[in-house]
Structure 1
Amino acid sequence: MVRKKKTEEYEAKIKQALMVLGEVSEDSTTPRNIRRSAKDAMNALQSSEYTPAVKASNAVALLDEILQDPNMPPYTRVKLWNVMSFIEAIKD
């Protein structure tokens, strides 16, 4: 029962993260390389071959790398930090 509840909670967090990443990836005011990284992170989160924790850590690694980009608009950086806070809590 507890396991099922955790899985549902993680799926909700991933869904939330995917929504925000979708916004970032479609924002034409955001540099292309950052939009591409947001799409890559979305793909990592949607991968069916890994557990939720592995998907989350793959996405965090991709986002962590792009957050260093000096060309990132501040509002995009805040959105990506929010995404990371959603998914960093996902554990196996």
Structure 2
Amino acid sequence: MAYDPQVVDAKVVSDNKKNGLFEIVAVLKDRNECRLFFERDPETGVGKVTDLNRLMKEPCPICRKDYLCNCLDRFKHTIAEQSMQYIK
């Protein structure tokens, strides 16, 4: 069974207009939360995801580890696209 992340809520937790960086915390359907780091393009203003960190409130949905893993990095673009819909 392949993992399919689904964002149910997202909010901006920090926004630095000076350098174009901002962070979003996304809540997934399986109760996991992750922090997404974005960088704005200076010309267009469109955010591009640069990094994803899983907030360790629940075990990883893929490997079921309670500690730091990088499993959700494969899905950072999918999670970023879905979370941007909640922001705009």
Query: Larger % of strand: which?
Result: 2
More helix by share: 1
- Greater RCO (Cα-Cα under 8 Å, separation 6 or more): 1
